[in-house]
Amino acid sequence: MLNRDGTKIVPGRIFADPKPGDSAATFQLDAQGLRAEEEQELQTVPAPRLVDPRMDLADVLGSDAVKAIEASGKIAFHAVGDTGDVNPKTAPDQTEVIDSMANDLTGAGPAPSFLFHLGDVVYFFGERSKYYAQFYSPFRAYDRPVFAIPGNHDSVVVNRQHKEQSTEPSLSGFLANFCTDLPEVAVDAAGVKRETMDQPGVYFTLDAPFVSVIGLFTNALEGPGIISPRGLAGTEAAQRVGTAQLEFLKRELARLKPARENKERAVIVACHHPPATLDETHGGGLNLTLDLDEAYAEAGLVPDAVLSGHAHLYEHWVRKINGREVPYLIAGSGGYGLGGVKKGLQFPLQWGDFEMKQKPIRDYGYLLLTVDTTTDPKELTISFKRPADPAHGEDFSVSLD
């Protein structure tokens, strides 16, 4: 069997190593990262390996596993962002979130088939040396593929304090661990037997039974995310950002429109930076919203949900588009501290045409999404799960009719 690009699929993919051998290094959090001015510099968007950067879950899990999902009529998967951690005080929170997701793999209901990571896999500057402590060791028991889009911290690889020794090209760590030509035992895993992911690029579409997730790279700014040069006319940064990603989004939405209109699959857009947030330090971005809206209009398809990280809490926004209520969710609550919420707010709250009906949940947790085609109507169910307080998360459904 061959991948889409003609390369041979490597049999027996390795996703987990619950009991690493002696070759694995001791789990130690590296807290030497230093915030840098370079965080505010837009980075060049790497061109994907494929003209149409897509991958199919069957090429990763295998055709038999995917046939079983198709026969069941439903698929479940996880999504969360900002799981990287450099603080020993909050490391147990990161571990609790990831272990809870691993426990879901053997729990009731359809077992999640994969995790779609919403960015900031490692802090602070995306160095390859951080991947063992912040990704491979914490996820060692998560026996499913992990797909990812880069967050701003994955994008900027520089440490001003040790700049000559530690500077790496932007996104080099992410590319080496999530975008290899073929899956291979990860060098940066320090002995944990999880293979790299062979995504076609930092932006791509994952096609799975009953769902497609379009992942976008919203660049390296701490502030609003961007996927096009909107607002950057005449600047050198505009050339670095380019228009390829926005055009990709338009093409993918148009490609998926017939299947969505036939109720064959849900369509989800994932981007690290949220279009809107109440977090005190991570603002939303009007230009990102305008780019998404432009793509929806040209393709004639509005996604069933938009998922983001970046802000370290859970927020559930709703926008009314073409008569539908579209959830814009933030789940940047994977382990790296908790964000503060602006004071004195009254709910329901309106921000432009975004509405938030209830307060954000300022706690660690993750999303569990299920597409069920056996119900009438077919539904996308989304749950925000709080490992420390399972009884007080959130569950809601989106009709695919």
**How far apart are alpha carbons 198 and 401 in whole angstroms?**
34
Asked if the model's pLDDT at residue 8 lies above 60, the reply is no
Q: What is each CA distance from 370 to 39, 86, 112, 119, in whole angstroms?
A: 35, 31, 8, 21
- Cα–Cα nearest to 333, from 100, 128, 157: 100
Strands 366-372 and 354-356: unpaired
User: What's the mean per-residue pLDDT of the chain?
Assistant: 90
H or E segment and range at residue 396: strand 394-399
In this predicted structure, what is the pLDDT of residue 21? 64
In this predicted structure, what is the pLDDT of residue 28? 35
Q: What is the DSSP string of 84-125?
A: ----TTTHHHHHHHHHHHHHHTTSSSSPP--EEE-S--SSSS
Asked if the model's pLDDT at residue 2 lies above 50, the reply is no
On the question of a cis peptide bond just before residue 53, with omega within 30 degrees of 0, the verdict is no
Q: Is 303 exposed, middle or buried (0-12, 13-18, 19+ CB in 10 A)?
A: buried
290: phi then psi, degrees, rounded to nearest 5: -65, -40
**Could you read off the pLDDT of 295-315 as tens digits, one per residue?**
999 999 999 999 999 999 999
The confidence band for 9, taking pLDDT boundaries of 50, 70 and 90, is very low
Domains of the chain: 37-399 (3.60.21.10)
Which tokens sit at 126?
């995306």
In this predicted structure, what is the pLDDT of residue 155? 92
Question: Mean of the pLDDT values across residues 85-110?
Answer: 91
The confidence band for 20, taking pLDDT boundaries of 50, 70 and 90, is confident
381 forms beta bridges with 370, 397
Locus of tokens 């064959």: 264
**Residue with more model confidence, 14 or 180:** 180
- Cα–Cα nearest to 165, from 189, 129, 120: 129
Question: Mean of the pLDDT values across residues 345-364?
Answer: 95
Q: Which residues of 180-194 are buried (b: 16+ CB within 10 A; e: fewer)?
A: beebeebebbbbbbb
**How far apart are alpha carbons 226 and 231 in whole angstroms?**
10
Count of beta carbons in the 10 Å neighbourhood of residue 67: 12
Question: Mean of the pLDDT values across residues 257-269?
Answer: 98
Q: In sequence order, which residues have a C-beta less than 8 Å from that of residue 343 and are 6 or more positions away?
A: none
On the question of a cis peptide bond just before residue 377, with omega within 30 degrees of 0, the verdict is yes
- Cα–Cα nearest to 79, from 303, 318, 333, 371: 333
N-to-C CA span, the chain = 35
pTM comes to 0.93
The confidence band for 35, taking pLDDT boundaries of 50, 70 and 90, is very low
Q: Of all residues in the chain, what percent carry a pLDDT higher than 90? A: 77
**Could you read off the pLDDT of 209-234 as tens digits, one per residue?**
999 999 999 999 988 999 999 999 98
In this predicted structure, what is the pLDDT of residue 348? 96
Question: Mean of the pLDDT values across residues 42-69?
Answer: 96
**How far apart are alpha carbons 157 and 59 in whole angstroms?**
31
Residue 133 contacts residue 27 (beta carbons within 8 Å): yes
**Residue with more model confidence, 21 or 240:** 240
Crossing angle of helices 244-261 and 286-299, in 10° steps, is 50
The confidence band for 161, taking pLDDT boundaries of 50, 70 and 90, is low
